[in-house]
Structure 1
Amino acid sequence: MRLGATLADLSPGPPTAIAERAKRLAGAGFESLWTPQIIGRGFFVPDPFVTLAVAATATEDVEVGTATVQVPLHHPAELAHRVRSLMSVCGDRLTLGVSPGSTDLDYALLDRDFAARFRTFRENLPRLRALLGNDRPPLLLGSWGANVERAAQEFDGWLASAHRRTPDQIITACAGFRAAGGGRAIVCAVPVPESGDLGPTAEVLRRYADAGFDDAVVLIGPDGPDPTRVRALLPR
């Protein structure tokens, strides 16, 4: 199982120096860098397209990805333009995680209909695919429930969030994803304690590896342990 890291700090506080953080994580041996789209939750998270463009410029041979872009918050043409612009910076290092979104605060800030997000997602995604064309980046679906099977059948892979689900729930869902013929499976935002014993984190990562996940993406806070210690939890 490959190990990636969340690039953005998902906590209140001053903005992170993205280039320096990307270099530090890549230097510690993380194989991918990911960032979500968060807009209206009371603290600042940089735009994912700007963040990943900076990260791709500051690093070499490291995958960069969105986990996730909330498709209903964008017009398909505008989103396709932003994706293709990012591809011009990082090329085939980009993986695009997409979702309907899960938090009403982001929708409220942009005056969008949160209740209609699944319908809007279904309507906008085919046009987004068409606008991106055959040279688009891999598309991974970040969602839950019945959509896990959809991720297996209609997307290049699945993004499971460890933020809202327990390891047992995620591992059970992964079994369903595999049974449906799913491709790449990534568990994101695996929390890392700011201090103390990293043994429980190592055990969770081992469980995800044993369950058949292709990647795990850890979430190291600004006051968390040195990235090299976290990377050492999962030997290559």
Structure 2
Amino acid sequence: MPPPVIPAYGLALHTTTPHLGLALGDGAGYGRHQTWNLGRDLASQLQHHLGEFLQPQTWQDLAFIAVAQGPGGFTGTRLGMVTARTLAQFLDIPLFAVSTLAALAWQAGPGDGSAIAVCFPARRDQVFGGIYQKMGDDRPPLALVPDSVLTADQWQTQLQTQLRDQDIPLRLLARLPSQDGSSSPDSLGSQAAGAIVANPPEAEAVTAVLAIAQAAWLQGDRPHWSTALPFYGQSPVVTPPSTHP
């Protein structure tokens, strides 16, 4: 009689916004996730929610950890990355750093090979943007255009180039700016031909962070915790212009 199969549980963290997202699954049908709107309490509440969410599983049940590496808020992204790296180092298990944009693309993409452009406003009249191709649920998405910080004009150029040079459909996922945001819907590419505008909740993409890591895990990828790095894109501090001639 063959020995029983031990589930390979993975835990995913998404902290790049004031909403905390956690997900747990074994890649074989069992999975659950939850989000919390913690705002400024994210740092003080993260450990508490982690401990409660994990039950009835234990830390020793985990085969790997996945974390949203950004882009996103500087403080939240750093908090999630430090927490994930600490846990993975302590448990001596692999750590997958997953792009926030790639997770949104995975969540929205039908897996038919179409290109999925994802963007949302950044600081100082810029945007975070990347273009991904999802070929199915059994492999991580392919970055056609890696995550970057661009001006609105540069992002529009990327979209038009993708539409012109690639003979595949293009979908657009854009988190539109708030009322006082400086980026307009048009600047995020909502008027690009063939694009579809959406406004996905980012913390809910924690399920996609886990799914991407599970796909890589099943392909044999075992990244060391030390290779997981955040993608901030921008410094949270604006350097004043020099007064020297």
TM-score, scaled to structure 2: 0.31
Answer with 1 or 2: which has the greater Rg: 2
The structure with higher relative contact order (CA 8 Å, sep 6+) is 2
